[in-house]
Structure 1
Amino acid sequence: MRKVNYGVDAPNIMRNLILLGMIIAIAGLKLPLLSPNIILTIISYLMVVFGTVFYLLGMAMCAYSLKGKYRTRDLMLSKINWQGNEMVLDIGTGQGLLMNGAAKHLTTGKSVGIDIWSSKDLSDNSINKTLANAELEGVKDKINIRNEDARSLTFADNSFDVVLSLLCIHNIEPKADQEKACFEIARVLKPNGIALIGDYVPTTAYAKAFAKAGLIVKSSKPYFTTAYALMWIVEVTKA
């Protein structure tokens, strides 16, 4: 029996951080052996520090992919008072981590996932893998998948009770368009609906965009210990 797999996030960046960190740190340790002097000692110290930082960031990304993202998903879903009939939108669904998790809380509702499926953001990232994961999770009849851009959603105003997103909005370029995505989230969110957006960058800018769009910002804060990596989550509602 196949086991559900939600991939490795930003695999190339994770690999490069780990390898680069190791190379810089090792080189820094060996540098003073060439010609012991104060300048080389200082450079050596800095190389070891920066190499260690890069290595730890890469390992944190690994820990997130293996365990942290599941803890983050569970935290985000626990903030919703599920009734079972919700319409849910997962922006940047990837292989369906949040979409499928939300679908398990539904009876008559529907969980919709949108993405443009980039392999640089997630290993083995494709719409077919997303469908396969939904089937393995036993929620294929509760989900719907679309190829859409978060900056120009085709859904009508006030369509969703819940909007979710994890490690997606920061990928939108140019950066100014990230506000457009937040405005679109505000537009499709129903009155009294809730949106939870998680990202590895501070969500302060997202919170400001949501407030500008008329949403109520309940919180925007870090959850490093939950994700085992850099993680901020902004929680907003629609009056």
Structure 2
Amino acid sequence: MSINHISDINNEMVNAASDGAIRKAAGQFEWSVFWCRPWSRLHTSWFSVLDASFIADSIAEAMHYDEILEVLNIPFAPEPEIINPLTLTLSSLDVEQESRVFSFISAILTDGHVAGDLSDDERVWCYRFSMGLNLHQYGEEHRNTILSILQDDTQHPVGVLAAYTIRSWSKNDSAFWSRYRVRFNKDQVLPEADLLISPAKLNYIIKTALSMTTQSLPIAKQVPEVTEEHLNEINEKQEEELNA
């Protein structure tokens, strides 16, 4: 093996490591912005309680930081490590991507009926995906909760269903939810109890909505039924990869 060949291998390793570090740094920066300055994507309705001058620039933010947190009801918490990559992806979406994620979540929960700006093919796909997940197994209480949201003409159903799903999904991470919820309408009213959908299926819904949005996946003609056992295997594999 020539010295030049060895140098080429070393350069490839260094470049690969550098690329990984850059990607990690980019993700870490986005995560830090979300965690420390969640009002960077504040829904306009919150300005009814928050003085816009408090977040006009970095100096104003520093001077009023504690007050901003208090007004938005966000508890102070040290920035945590990124444990679940889905939280990073969700918090890093641009406005257009976020709208599509919300639409996918809503469409999945409503068998494709309330699908925001999704195409007809995407609506049908969400219906099939919902059937595969067998969300109807959660009975009348689940069905009535979804219907009560759809029948409330004072709120936007896509936004409510998306917020409700994300809150239920992140119920063990209140600090994350308190930061993410300011992207929704301040006056939005969500059911007190979380969705009855299992954590494994909630995670799969969020993961699928993000994948369909960020990876531009083709619309499959058929979606197989996804069992609870299959979902748990997926989540266990994901945890093993994160801990590796």
Given the two structures, how large is their TM-score scaled by the length of structure 2?
0.31
Q: Which has the higher helix share?
A: 2
Given the two structures, how large is their TM-score scaled by the length of structure 1?
0.31
Q: Which has the higher strand share?
A: 1
